[in-house]
Chains A and B, each alone.
Chain A
Amino acid sequence: MTSTANLMSYEDALSSFDPVMGLEVHVELGTATKMFCGCATEFGGEPNSQVCPTCLGLPGALPVVNRTAVESAIRIGLALNCNIAEWCRFARKNYFYPDMPKNFQTSQYDEPIAFDGYLDVEVQGKTYRVGIERAHMEEDTGKSTHVGGATGRIHGADYSLLDYNRCGIPLIEIVTKPIEGAGELAPEIAKAYVAELRDLIKALGVSEARMELGQMRCDANLSLRPHGQEKFGTRSETKNVNSLRSVERAIRFEIQRHATVLTDGGTIVQETRHFHEDDGTTTAGRVKEEAEDYRYFPEPDLVPVAPSRDWVEELRGTLPEVPSVRRKRLQAEWGISDFDMQSLVNAGAVDAIVDTVAAGADSDAARKWWLGELARSANERGVEVTALPITPAQVARVAALVKAGELNDKLARQVIEGVLAGEGDPDQVVEKRGLKVVSDEGALGAAIDQAIAAQADAVAKIQAGNLGPVGALIGAVMKTTRGQADAARVRELILEKLGVS
């Protein structure tokens, strides 16, 4: 049933059914310390090196709420146009699992910090409003590594390793209302929602929201109902869909799978599904025949969170421009096409360009470097362009040197290469590598004289009015000056000397 060969086509599926989606996104906040203790949250530490009695759930240890995490949650809620609770509590979600040392997760249940909002997303030039049910605070679990089994899952493993460094890192879970009426655009709307949410989270500065590092994780719920039917169908929940492309593929696959089952007269089982990156399919996980009973109750070790209205309004004042609005503004300011803007967005270079312009470069130059030389280097290194070891201010400095005529494009590329190689800032690289354009007219004059003397034939042709061989003379001068002359100036001087100007 899960093999692609037996699946109904996407078009056929949509001709009979309406998809209804629900997206649950977990965002790890970038706070310096954990949700309920003072342990560091830095990624990549030695296993179990960032733990204490509280996040290890040792007998007697107690939680204390991280104020910055609450602040981040409120800002996310406000950015998602939510109401912010005047008074809310944490709740214990009780279930046994070895990566959760207390065997309950401190979360929120029926009193989320933020509720009833929306996020507008744009797909194919049209705006869709995705309703937000709630955003609530909770703690992350530890990380289990199951060793020995074929699947990497706990079932069949020989043993499991547990790293509690992640345990207690603050999470915000953002849950949409049912997304209805998306029709054939459902997969794209899901992807656009997650992308817009990611950009919003990044713009808020509350998390880097890097999906490849698990800082943002998506669970995608999907059900189908026949056209015209009011009642929702049975849903499946595809867990841990962890890239934008995967979100789109998972929804698309589930639409086809549900349609195939339903059309064959079968019933959809309410269950969780695992998504497979390799072939874009999903397979069955846990069956959720009965609603799981987490025995939620208010966390008695914590006092209620009651953000004052003054604080909430103060935080509202710190909200950044909505990413989609900002993109439109920048596109207009830079005077570029939709296509060019999309390229910048896809390259993840928008912020770098904004910062480079802020550091004094003009937008064309900034775009040229970030999309050209730097995008190429990033590609070679297999990193995001913003992860390169060069700052927007350094790129702006290179652009300024070019503009002042002190570097030509070829030399500028070498300067950038030097900065990326850790040789210092642009001026230091120019100095160390001796990359300045030769503007000393005396030295240049000597090189030109030498070239003229060496190429009498070319000179004769030029003086006869055939400017073609000027290139050969310029080439010779550039060779002598090891490329450090301004080619345009060299051409001017040669023609001047030969009396052709």
Chain B
Amino acid sequence: MADLTRLTAAETAARIAAGEVSAVEVAQAHLDRITEVDAKVHAFLHVDTEGALNAAKAVDERRAKGDALGPLAGVPLALKDVFVTQGVPTTCGSKILEGWIPPYDATVTRRLKEAGVVILGKTNMDEFAMGSSTENSAYGPTGNPWDLTRIPGGSGGGSAAALAAFEAPLAIGTDTGGSIRQPGAVTGTVGVKPTYGSVSRYGLVAFSSSLDQGGPCARTVLDAALLHAAIAGHDPLDSTSIDAPVPDVVGAARNGDVRGMRIGVVKEFGGDGYQAGVLERFNESVELLRELGAEVVEISCPHFDYAMPAYYLIAPSEASSNLARFDAMRYGLRVGDNGDRSAEEVMSLTREAGFGPEVKRRIMLGTYALSSGYYDAYYGQAQKVRTLIARDFDAAFAQVDVLISPTTPTTAFPIGERADDPMAMYLADLCTIPSNLAGNAAMSLPCGLAPEDGLPVGLQIIAPTMADDRLYKVGAAVEAAFLDRWGAPLLDQAPAL
């Protein structure tokens, strides 16, 4: 039998449903693969061997009883360690949550379990999802399977690397400023940030509540759509959850087509600061879309230039408040509690020891931006920029069906290269941030390798709010055309680990 870890999620589910392979065999194959390669990749913070095999066994038993299985039953998945999992450690890549075992499941976790998805474990990430390289994890960096000396993107580098290393066919990420799409781009995988409010945030440990959005990561557009459908939908436990039907993303992914579509190239994304190979692959994608029957036009979104500063006020402001609860009083790390110190001293010592430098930087930035006397100039002003960016999108989508851009200005950079330069690191999310600020949907999918370094380049597709299906319609068409052109999936070109 072919290597089970090389199958897509759709193929895996079909084989399990047909009885050609058991869910336990599939789970075991992936657990073996993790054992084989994860010491090098370090995609996982915690592998739940027992939980995964039990879940797989339950799927096999249901099948044996003749129960109908869902479209992802028995498919293994790598879960970003920012979603809480009952009885399974959840650290958010932070020392401050070391040893914490959540007493409840996130809605996403629960829906995955209900869908019969087999959760293999929890993936590495930048601490509290703050970063673009996974170097900010308190538990060490993750390597990019294309080149282990390079970053796999972030914050969801673990999830993306797990896919690219064939440790799992599916993964869950969260995208606050690009943390699904940018890792997808630099690892040659597919990542989708759904419309804000379409995937429940209940049980997603908050970084920036108004920006965070969970979403699917996969190696194919169809797999991403299947996972998207499994996790999306209204949740009464999340007040910001949208109470409306989820667009038919699976139908769209099965019927990729761009004929007659109007596609806008975001004028502001390109030029100085973009790697030549990235622009070359992007321009090739534009030509491809024209060949496939789309009309491609240039669209200006003038306020996108202010997206980055607005983001770095709003996200840290919310984070400074969201992370206040990590105070050593009820769970997680406690430092310096020698019986003499006050609660305040213990809180302070714990936060000093438990948070890494980037988290501290953002807590301080956010605390400052929210302070009285500065609030209007910083947080208030940033919210106005947010409104202007949403208006830019509205104006753009009045003219085109989707927008496109490179996902990130460069390919994967070497581990350590930007670690001491936060501003350089922040630039990795330049093209992805506007959709977080406006709340609309966006996808990154592979569009080839940059000639100068042979590393993957991502194409970003951006759709209006609640038109997530357009991402899949366009994405599937592009994916099929590239597959035709390349003769094999891009990941087949990645070196063996």
Contacts and interface: CB of A to CB of B under 8 A. Distances in A.
Interface of A: 53, 56-65, 92, 94, 96, 98, 101-104, 154, 160, 162, 291, 293, 295-297, 300-303
B205 A59 contact: yes
B324 A96 contact: yes
Contacts of A63: 239
B343 A53 contact: no
Given A53-B103, A295-B367, A64 B325 contact: no
Contacts of B97: 59
A301 B371 CA distance: 20
A60 B84 contact: yes
Nearest to B128: A59
A59 B317 contact: no
B221 interface: no
B8 interface: no
A103 B325 contact: yes
Interface of B: 83-84, 90, 92, 97, 100, 102-104, 106, 201-206, 208-210, 236-240, 317-318, 320-321, 324-327, 329-331, 343-344, 347, 367, 370-372, 375, 379
A96 B367 CA distance: 13
Contact of A64 (B102, B239, B367, B372): B239
B106 A297 contact: no
Enumerate the 9 nearest inter-chain pairs by beta-carbon distance, A residue then B residue, closest first. A103-B324, A295-B370, A300-B209, A300-B210, A60-B203, A59-B205, A60-B84, A60-B205, A57-B325
A301 B235 CA distance: 13
A124 to B, nearest CB: 43
A61 B83 CA distance: 10
Given A98-B343, A104-B321, A295-B370, A303 B240 contact: yes
A34 to B, nearest CB: 14
Contacts of B209: 300-301
* B206, B240, B329, B344: residue with the most chain A Cβ atoms closer than 10 Å: B329
Nearest to A52: B104
B327 A297 contact: no
A408 B103 CA distance: 64
A102 B324 contact: yes
Given A94-B370, A96-B327, A302 B321 contact: no
Given A98-B343, A297-B318, 11 more contacts: A59-B84, A60-B84, A61-B104, A62-B238, A98-B329, A103-B325, A293-B372, A295-B371, A300-B318, A301-B239, A301-B240
Contact of A59 (B240, B325, B379): B325
A64 B103 contact: no
* A160, A162, A293: residue with the most chain B Cβ atoms closer than 10 Å: A293
Nearest to A65: B239
* A62, A296, A301: residue with the most chain B Cβ atoms closer than 10 Å: A62
Q: Is the interface of A mostly helix, strand, loop or mixed?
A: loop
Nearest to B347: A96
A99 to B, nearest CB: 9
Nearest to A104: B321
Given A103-B327, A293-B372, A295-B372, A60 B83 contact: yes
B407 to A, nearest CB: 26
Contacts of A162: 329
Nearest to B92: A59
Contacts of B102: 58-60
A160 B343 contact: yes
A101 B237 CA distance: 19
Given A53-B104, A61-B202, A297-B370, A94 B321 contact: yes
A64 B236 contact: yes
Contacts of B321: 92, 94, 104, 295, 297
B83 A56 contact: no
Nearest to A303: B239
B237 A62 contact: yes
Nearest to A103: B324
A63 B379 CA distance: 23
A60 B370 contact: no
A62 B103 contact: no
A359 to B, nearest CB: 43
Given A53-B104, A96-B324, A60 B330 contact: no
18 contacts: A57-B325, A59-B90, A59-B100, A61-B104, A62-B202, A63-B239, A94-B320, A96-B347, A98-B343, A102-B324, A103-B325, A295-B321, A295-B375, A297-B370, A297-B375, A300-B240, A301-B209, A303-B239
A85 to B, nearest CB: 18
Nearest to B330: A101
Contacts of A154: 343
B347 A293 contact: no
Contact of A104 (B103, B238, B324): B324
B325 A101 contact: yes
